[in-house]
Chain A
Amino acid sequence: QSALTQPASVSGSPGQSITISCTGTRSDVGSYNFVSWYQQHPGKAPKLMIYDVSKRPSGVSNRFSGSKSGNTASLTISGLRAEDEADYYCCSYVGGGGVFGGGTKLTVL
């Protein structure tokens, strides 16, 4: 299964909103709502931020939201903060296994 496609990098200023896209195919993102997003700070383990396309685990800020249209899922972070600077990975669970996107580095200017 091929990796999902994410932009290598995005940036935004504090207080702004940014969106990270995650493009798959009709066989994964397009057919199932088993999309999740993970945040990873340097040297740390990933953290689950979004699951089932748009649901937030307990404790995750409501500044993080997810959506999906066709074969593309998106993560939106509103009210950017310095601590949001990290790598973000999307993941699709399909066919009994997971496939990650290549990751997007978010820089808060």
Chain B
Amino acid sequence: QVQVVQSGAEVKKPGASVKVSCEASGYTFTDYYIHWVRQAPGQGLQWMGWINPNSGATNFAQKFQGRVTMTGDTSISTAFMELSRLTSDDTAVYYCARAVAGPKYLQHWGQGTVVIVSS
């Protein structure tokens, strides 16, 4: 069955970067887009962007452009999201999700990765 497993919680200082991984199994990694979505404490979902693991193409929400990098390693069926120049506003749970119907819908979600930014 399809599984998406994320890396563990991170604590970072302001100004640092964080890199979260998303390991996929149960399907061909290059056949489906991977999205990243975050949720600040007590807040709603915020779409960050997607990566096409086959081509490496990416598309980011305007809010994160210039600060986010999304990559994929097909040899280990793992996607990565790196966010730089962290501030306390970046404290959130970060989710990856495998899409269906091209990039349009997020069907298989990871368990979430807590990222805390604190001095």
| Docked-complex contact B47 and A45, CB < 8 angstroms | no
A88 to B83, CA, bound (A): 27
Q: Is A98 interfacial (CB 8 A cutoff)?
A: yes
CB distance from A18 to the nearest CB of B (A): 19
Name the prevailing secondary structure of the A interface residues.
Answer: strand
User: Which chain B residues lie closer than 8 Å to A89 at the CB level?
Assistant: 44-45
CB distance from A67 to the nearest CB of B (A): 17
How many residues of chain A get a CB closer than 8 Å to chain B's CBs?
Answer: 25
| Docked-complex contact B110 and A103, CB < 8 angstroms | no
Name the prevailing secondary structure of the B interface residues.
Answer: strand
A48-88, CB under 8 A of B: which get 1 and which 0? 10011000010000000000000000000000000000010
Interchain CB contact (< 8 A) of B44 among A36, A45, A97, A102: A102
Given contacts A38-B106, A93-B104, contact A45 B45 (CB under 8 A): no
| Docked-complex contact B59 and A96, CB < 8 angstroms | yes
| Docked-complex contact A97 and B59, CB < 8 angstroms | yes
How many residues of chain B get a CB closer than 8 Å to chain A's CBs?
Answer: 25
User: Which chain A residues lie closer than 8 Å to B112 at the CB level?
Assistant: 45
| Docked-complex contact A99 and B47, CB < 8 angstroms | yes
A36 to B112, CA, bound (A): 20
| Docked-complex contact A103 and B35, CB < 8 angstroms | no
A97 to B54, CA, bound (A): 18
Interchain CB contact (< 8 A) of A103 among B37, B44, B103: B44
| Docked-complex contact B95 and A98, CB < 8 angstroms | no
Q: Is B105 interfacial (CB 8 A cutoff)?
A: yes
Interchain CB contact (< 8 A) of B104 among A51, A57, A87, A100: A51
Q: Is B61 interfacial (CB 8 A cutoff)?
A: yes
Q: Is A24 interfacial (CB 8 A cutoff)?
A: no
Interchain CB contact (< 8 A) of A57 among B44, B95, B107: B107
A96 to B61, CA, bound (A): 9
